[in-house]
Amino acid sequence: MNVTKEQIQEIKELVAKVLNLYEDKVKLDLLKIDRENTLKGEIASACEIRNKQGELQPNKVKMPLVSALIDEMFLEKNNKKEAEYVLMETYRSAISSKRVNNEALSDYVAIRESLEENAQNIKEAFKESSTLDRAILEAINYLTKTKYKELLENKKQEAGIETKPPKDMTAVMELIKELEKMLSK
């Protein structure tokens, strides 16, 4: 990578500035988690979300829904969840009134069930391992998922299904290594 001294200085300044902003973001993220937990507790209390023993269950509060309501009520944004719900009701009406081909529905339900069964079989295959430690199992999982994604991509292409090519990060990773070397000088 050919860069001038001026560019190196600009790189250093930009990295320092962005790292400071990310440090601020870490503080904000932690504060958000704390406030989110408080809000979940308040909502659980107000909505009487409790377990069988009568204890509040703030972990059962659906934050994406709360967030959508906050967007609508306080930030003057569109409530995306409500728009999705309206669309879902349109779909529900079409399906329940038999305007959607029943065979297409049955076929789709069957393939979803087959995929769930396959996922369960994969989990069971890993559980059957008795001598491999967790790190090796995670490596095998990563390897096999990568192979699955490659195979799926190839089969989609063979079938003429449009796919997005995986993002090639090689050049970016090389630049990162070079930048790290520059910044450590």
Whether 169 has a pLDDT exceeding 90, the answer reads no
C-alpha–C-alpha distance, residues 121 and 110, integer Å = 16
pLDDT at 180: 87
pLDDT at 70: 94
C-alpha–C-alpha distance, residues 168 and 162, integer Å = 18
pLDDT at 69: 93
Place 115 in a pLDDT band, splitting at 50, 70 and 90: very high
C-alpha–C-alpha distance, residues 22 and 9, integer Å = 20
pTM: 0.64
The per-residue DSSP string of 99-140 comes to -S-HHHHHHHHHHHHHHHHHHHHHHHHHHT-SS--HHHHHHH
pLDDT tens profile 116-131:
999 999 999 999 988 8
- Give 164 or 40, the one with higher predicted confidence: 40
Whether 155 has a pLDDT exceeding 90, the answer reads yes
Q: Return the percentage of the chain with pLDDT > 70, whole number.
A: 99
Q: Could you tell me the CA-to-CA distances from 105 to 3, 83, 91, 96, 127 in Å, in that order?
A: 59, 24, 12, 11, 33
pLDDT at 166: 73
pLDDT tens profile 11-69:
889 989 999 999 999 999 999 999 999 999 999 999 999 999 999 999 999 999 999 99
pLDDT at 7: 86
What six digits make up the tokens of 108?
A: 């789709």
Place 175 in a pLDDT band, splitting at 50, 70 and 90: confident
